[in-house]
Amino acid sequence: MPRGPVGLIASAAMVAMALNACGSGHSSAQAVDPGAHAGPGNGLTVTDSHGYTFTLRPDHVTCAPSEDGHGVKVVHLMYTQMSPLRGVDIDVVPVDRPTTYSLPVDSGDSARGPRNAYLFVTAKIPAPRAAHEPPAFENSTDEERASGRLTVLHASCHPARLELSIDGKLGSEYSDPNVTVTGGIDLTGS
């Protein structure tokens, strides 16, 4: 085996591959490559009214009971990027065929049933703003000033899978009304 930095890197890579191949009997504790189940073009590009743009690349999708009850499970994606703090939260009722929603999307409530489709993005203003201050924006697809389209191409729970695309402006009750989100998600859970 080669010696020196190249040899050490090659050795470390072989050990990592061997450990990955062995696996473990505890699937819930297995480490997963964040992009392992990601489809092509997996990312949402968020642009605020000042032209500041960033891309969120979620890496995990699950199914969970709807927050609105009714015994319905929704396909759920929650992703947080810690520094700087930015995130996305998505809930979609499973669909049998591609479905396009014009924004704003009626997100449902405890009386009417689970959300059809809901996408929420948030970001904190970069320093020097204090950490305890509110987000720079928190916008969603169900606010009145939202416009554009959200297309759910696939949403299922067995396995958890979400494929969607969005091209829209998200509304907010509290902050910047001019946040646009474009791109798509294509993730399958384990």
Condensed to tens digits (0 to 9), the pLDDT of residues 22-44 reads 333 322 222 223 333 344 468 99
Q: Name residue 30's amino acid.
A: Q
Q: What is the mean pLDDT of residues 151-176?
A: 92
Three-state secondary structure call for residue 8: helix
CA angle (17, 18, 24) in 5-degree steps: 105
Confidence label for 164 from pLDDT (cuts 50, 70 and 90): very high
* Residue 84 reports pLDDT greater than 70: yes
Distance of alpha carbon 5 from alpha carbon 113, whole angstroms: 59
Q: Residue 150, exposed/middle/buried by CB under 10 A (0-12, 13-18, 19+)?
A: buried
Ranges 3-17, 69-83, 159-173, most confident = 159-173
Average pLDDT of the residues of the chain: 74
Encoding tokens for residue 181?
């989100």
Of the candidates 138, 184, 178, the one whose C-alpha atom is nearest the C-alpha of residue 164 is 184
**Residue 125: what pLDDT?**
63
Distance of alpha carbon 139 from alpha carbon 173, whole angstroms: 8
Q: Name residue 115's amino acid.
A: R
Condensed to tens digits (0 to 9), the pLDDT of residues 98-144 reads 999 999 987 665 555 556 889 999 987 665 566 555 557 889 999 98
Of the candidates 154, 170, 160, the one whose C-alpha atom is nearest the C-alpha of residue 119 is 170
**Residue 157: what pLDDT?**
93
